[in-house]
Amino acid sequence: MTRFNGCIDLHYGQVKQIVGGTLKDDAPEGLCTNFVSLEPPAYYAELYRKHKVTRCHVIKLGPENDEAAKEALEAWPMGLQVGGGINVDNAQAWLDAGASKVIVTSDLFPGGRFDEQRLKDLSQRIGKERLVLITSLDLLSHYCSEFLIHAADVEGLCRGIDKALVKKLGEWVTLPTTYAGGGSTLEDLALVHSLSNGKVDLTFGSALDIFGGSGVTLADCVAWNETHSQ
């Protein structure tokens, strides 16, 4: 059954919603931001905790986000996953700081090539049940317990999900999977459920009212979860 899972995206210590394709290290002047929160990260962690929105993720987009991420984890220990700059050397420290799981992607691709040994080492060190991957699927399912899939081409645009990708994910995935990108109305939850046969969950970013959006409210997402629980 498709559920809503929450997100907290951090950029230089602030909660923001960013158009995915504009976040580039080599061209920071091209960054397009949909929303910059006046609230601290803990506010969102406490909000998700209050409404029992589980499997939420905190993503550190670039440097100077560690303290903000720790603030969110302190507000809901063992309730939030954390990603961004996670590697075999610091993963356990983030789990010790209160993360329920760590999310890993770029560290597994040194020089742009997948390093299976790095993944094996990380999975063995912290346990696959504490590991979420943002990357490809088949081989990697042996080493983690969840997938987080970002459709960067539509992320932050609020123009609809990547239907073809969601449908394929429904065919491929065998682990809990959250899709992010383009969600704009509550109807997208029903659409993801239909396309994936209930195998893929959805998170909203820029369209969500708590992030300055007008397409969908957190209250409606919580109500969806309550009435569509397995």
Burial class (CB in 10 A: 0-12, 13-18, 19+), 154: buried
Query: For residue range 42-61, what is the model confidence (pLDDT) as tens digits?
Result: 999 999 999 999 999 999 99
Half-sphere exposure of 85 (CA within 13 A, CB side): 15
Residue 77 pLDDT greater than 70, yes or no? yes
Q: What is the pLDDT of residues 194-204, one digit of tens each?
A: 999 999 999 99
pLDDT exceeds cutoff 60 at 101: yes
pLDDT at 30: 78
d(CA 180, CA 17): 12
Mean pLDDT on 81-97: 97
- Arithmetic mean of pLDDT, 2-22: 92
pLDDT, average across residues 122-126: 96
User: What is the reported pLDDT for 83?
Assistant: 97
For residue range 213-223, list pLDDT tens digits in order: 999 999 999 99
Distance CA 82, CA 173 (A): 21
Q: Tokens in use for 4?
A: 């809503």
* Residue 24 vs residue 141, higher pLDDT: 141
Q: How confident is the model at residue 76 (pLDDT cuts 50, 70, 90)?
A: very high
Average of per-residue pLDDT across 60-80: 97
More confident residue, 29 or 143: 143
Q: Model confidence over 130-187: pLDDT tens digits? A: 999 986 566 678 889 999 998 878 887 888 999 999 999 999 999 999 999 999 999 9
**Residue 201 dihedral angles phi and psi, to the nearest 5°:** -95, 165
> Is the model's pLDDT at 188 over the cut of 90?
yes
Cβ neighbors of 21 (< 8 A, separation 6 or more) are 152, 153, 155, 156
For the cut 90, the answer to whether the pLDDT of residue 230 exceeds it is: no
Q: What's the confidence (pLDDT) of residue 129?
A: 97
What mean pLDDT do residues 75-91 have?
Answer: 97
- Is residue 8 very low, low, confident or very high in pLDDT (cuts 50, 70, 90)? very high
C-alpha distances in angstroms, 202 versus 68, 123, 160, 169, 179?
A: 24, 25, 12, 12, 5
